[in-house]
Amino acid sequence: MLVRCRPLARSIGIYKGLYRPHINAQLGLIVRWSSVEKSKTKQLVIPDSKKPSLTTRVVNELKHYYHGFRLLALETRLSMKYLWRLARGTTLTRRERQQLVRTVSDLLRLLPFSFFIIVPFMELALPIFLKFFPGMLPSTFQEASKEQDKIRRQLKARIEMANFLQDTLEEIALERKEKLKHVLKEDM
């Protein structure tokens, strides 16, 4: 049982009484310092299999969409500056141009998305439409885990394509080598 501890020496991490656990998330271990034993004990962390309550999930979703709208507003404001610079005749860097294109596409994606927000109770159908049309959601609203899954799938497809092309090139090289041997035998 952990109790609230008072730090004695903050710089070296000594606490009075029971020591605070240090969580190593990569290894899934909790390292506890025991004041009685003056040693470390490692325990395997078993992740909770419980789903969070409905209210916490709703609050998390609302925060997610709040931050998405806020980020979209910031990107729109920044893109307006880029448009103003383009109108004055200055050139944009590659990164600024990509930002401008991404923001304009996000704003165009937001038009059908806003239909779900304006029509009453239509937001209940939004997850179904997002399942069928995942590109409908603006980039500022996408979750990091889904983005990583998408990158993994693309990487896997690229590796498979590279292996296929490599095998094809090897087959072509073998065929040409055999043709060359056959031509050399006929010439001799």
CA angle 105, 86, 98 (to 5 degrees): 35
Express each pLDDT in 134-146 by its tens digit.
Answer: 777 777 777 777 7
The residue whose two tokens read 């590109």 is 135
Instruction: Find out whether 45 and 23 touch, Cβ atoms under 8 Å.
Output: yes
Taking only the tens place, the pLDDT of each residue in 12-68 is 444 444 444 444 444 455 555 555 555 555 555 556 678 889 899 889 888 988 998
Three-state DSSP state, 157: helix
What's the whole-model pTM score? Answer: 0.48
Question: Which tokens in the block code for residue 159?
Answer: 């590796």
Domains of the chain: which residue ranges? 7-44, 54-141, 155-188
What is the model's pLDDT at position 41? 55
For residue 110, give every residue at least 6 positions away whose Cβ sits within 8 Å of its Cβ, in sequence order, or none: 72, 138
